[in-house]
Amino acid sequence: MRVLLLGGTSEARALAQTLHPTVDIVSSLAGRVPDPALPVGPVRIGGFGGVDGLRRWLRDERIDAVVDATHPFAATMTAHAADVCTELGIPHLVLARPAWAPGDAIVVASDVEAAETVAKQHYSRVFLTTGRSGVTAFAGSDAWFLIRAVTAPDPALLPRHHRLVLSRGPYRYDSELSLLRRHRIDVLVTKNSGGAMTRPKLDAAAAQGIPVVMVARPPLPPGVTAVGTVDEAANWVAALAIAIG
Ligand code: NAP
pLDDT in tens, 105-132: 999 999 999 999 999 999 999 999 999 9
CA of 74 to the centre of ligand 1 (A): 5
In which band, very low, low, confident or very high, does the pLDDT at 99 lie, cut at 50, 70 and 90? very high
Residue 68, strand partner residues: 6, 94
CA of 76 to the centre of ligand 1 (A): 7
pLDDT at 20: 98
Give CA angle at 166 (175, 207), nearest 5°: 25
CA of 192 to the centre of ligand 1 (A): 16
Domains and CATH numbers, the chain: 2-98+218-244 (3.40.50.720), 106-215 (3.40.50.720)
Using alpha carbons, list the distances in angstroms from residue 38 to 4, 10, 217: 15, 10, 25
**Nearest-CA residue for atom 28 of ligand 1:** 74
CA dist., res. 227 & res. 109, Å (int): 23
Candidates 5, 48, 66, 70: which one to mutate for ligand 1, based on the most atoms within 8 Å of Cβ? 70
**Nearest-CA residue for atom 14 of ligand 1:** 30
Contacts of 241-245 with CB under 8 Å at 24 or more apart are 241/1, 241/23, 244/1, 244/64
pLDDT above 90 (res 34): no
Task: For the full predicted model, state whether its pTM sits above 0.75.
Answer: yes
